[in-house]
Amino acid sequence: MSKYAASACVPTRELSPLRLLLYNITIISEKKNDVMKIEGLTAIVSGGASGLGEASARHFANAGARVAILDFDEKKAQAVAADIDGIAVQVDVSDERAVHAAVAKVNSELGAARIAVSCAGIGLAARIVGREGKPSFDVFQRTLNVNLFGTYNLMTHAAASMMELEPLTDGERGVIINTSSVAYEDGQLGQSAYAASKGAIASMCLPAAREFARAGVRVVAIAPGLFKTPMMEGLPEEVTDKITADIPFPARLGDPREYAMMAEHIVTNPFLNGTTIRLDGAVRLPPR
Residues that bind ligand NAD (CB under 6 A): 47, 49-53, 71-73, 91-94, 119-123, 146-147, 150, 179, 181, 224, 226-227, 229-232
Catalytic residue among 4, 23, 152, 194: 194
What's the closest the beta carbon of residue 90 comes to ligand NAD, in angstroms?
8
Distant-in-sequence, close-in-space partners of 93: CB < 8 Å, separation ≥ 6: 46, 47, 70, 72, 99, 118, 120, 146, 149, 150, 151, 153, 154
What's the closest the beta carbon of residue 135 comes to ligand NAD, in angstroms?
23
Nearest to ligand NAD of 42, 181 (CB atom): 181
Instruction: Name the nearest CA neighbour of 57 among 182, 65, 248.
Output: 65
To which H or E segment does residue 210 belong? helix 205-212
Nearest to ligand NAD of 215, 221 (CB atom): 221
User: Rounded CA gap, 10 and 14, in Å?
Assistant: 9
What's the closest the beta carbon of residue 184 comes to ligand NAD, in angstroms?
9
User: Rounded CA gap, 103 and 113, in Å?
Assistant: 8
Nearest to ligand NAD of 80, 159 (CB atom): 80
What's the closest the beta carbon of residue 192 comes to ligand NAD, in angstroms?
14
What's the closest the beta carbon of residue 78 comes to ligand NAD, in angstroms?
12
Nearest to ligand NAD of 28, 239 (CB atom): 239
Amino acid at 117: V
Instruction: Name the nearest CA neighbour of 278 among 198, 196, 194, 211.
Output: 198
Q: How far is CA 252 from the centre of its chain?
A: 22
Strand order in the sheet with 66-71: 87-90, 66-71, 42-46, 113-118, 174-179, 217-224, 275-279
Nearest to ligand NAD of 54, 172 (CB atom): 54
Residue 194: active-site member:
yes
What's the closest the beta carbon of residue 111 comes to ligand NAD, in angstroms?
22
Under 8 Å between Cβ of 5 and 31:
no
Nearest to ligand NAD of 84, 226 (CB atom): 226
CA distances (Å), origin 271, targets 42, 71, 219: 21, 30, 11
Q: List the catalytic residues.
A: 194
